[in-house]
Structure 1
Amino acid sequence: MTEQTKTRIPTPLYAAAGAGDLAYQQLRKLPAVLTQLSDRAVASLRTANEQATELQHKAVNTDFDALRTNATTAATAFAQVAQERAVAAYTALVARGEKVVGTGIVESAEVVNADIEATEQPKAVEAAAAPAEAAKPRRRPKATPAPKSAE
């Protein structure tokens, strides 16, 4: 995983920003890729039909138990590699997101968090003092008579 930065913005936010930027860059390449794929699809369809016919003939003499064992072993190895790649991809997305978001947003977030902390602390003190005051009934001070003037 990536090292935690000193920011208060969670790494999934950076990962989302990095993924969005990566998706945008890949979408810009899409028209050229579609043209290339459509050309290859026509040729691949012919080849696939020929190979399917050959495979039908081979399937008659296949040991499916051995294939099942091999597939299970391969799937386990693949899952391990996929997990490692997923962690590496997430780490790369976090790093990319940190670059996309930039340090200006981090500084702003720190200021906002400091303001929130500063304004919430007095409320906590008031809330703690309120039950103590409610327990004691308040008495009005006695009115003192005004001094009489000597006339």
Structure 2
Amino acid sequence: MTGDAATDEIRALEADEQRLVLDTFSNDDAWALGSLLVKTARERDAAVTIGIRRGAQQLFHCALPGTSADNDAWIARKSAVVERYGASSYLVGARFRAKGRTFEDSSRLDPDHYAAHGGAFPLRIRGTGMVGVVAVSGLPQAEDHALVVTALTAFLAGGASHVVV
């Protein structure tokens, strides 16, 4: 990716993070967001695992058919990047790539515990900051990231109120 394209990608990813901020985030909200992700993934026939955490507490987890325990490990590694850097795992990776580096070689973090691949996104509450992480694993990284952004956008627009599980 060229310098201008990388800069544009980073700006777009940062804009999503500034836009996708919650007013509150309860256990019921985690269920609604997770259910919306499941519904969206099923509509796309996407074999993904979904995890939502607030702090250290797992509030939602679903492994759709076609996934494995490896997807749980990817969620943990991508979520660790969000928790450490305070930004989506895709944005963190994009920032390293824009500098001509890889996260794995330049971060000095154990790749068994950290992965700057798309799919984990910070859950921020307006006026509070980051309180948790929503993560998806199973698709190529850009698609994992896009699935989370799509669901968070719909959730903030009230789309979760129409989820039936």
More helix per residue: 1 or 2? 1
Structure of higher CA gyration radius = 1
Instruction: Work out whether the TM-score is over 0.5.
Output: no
Which of the pair has the greater relative contact order for Cα pairs under 8 Å at 6+ separation? 1
More strand per residue: 1 or 2? 2
Q: TM tier, shorter chain?
A: under 0.3
TM-score, normalized by length of structure 2? 0.18
TM-score, normalized by length of structure 1? 0.19
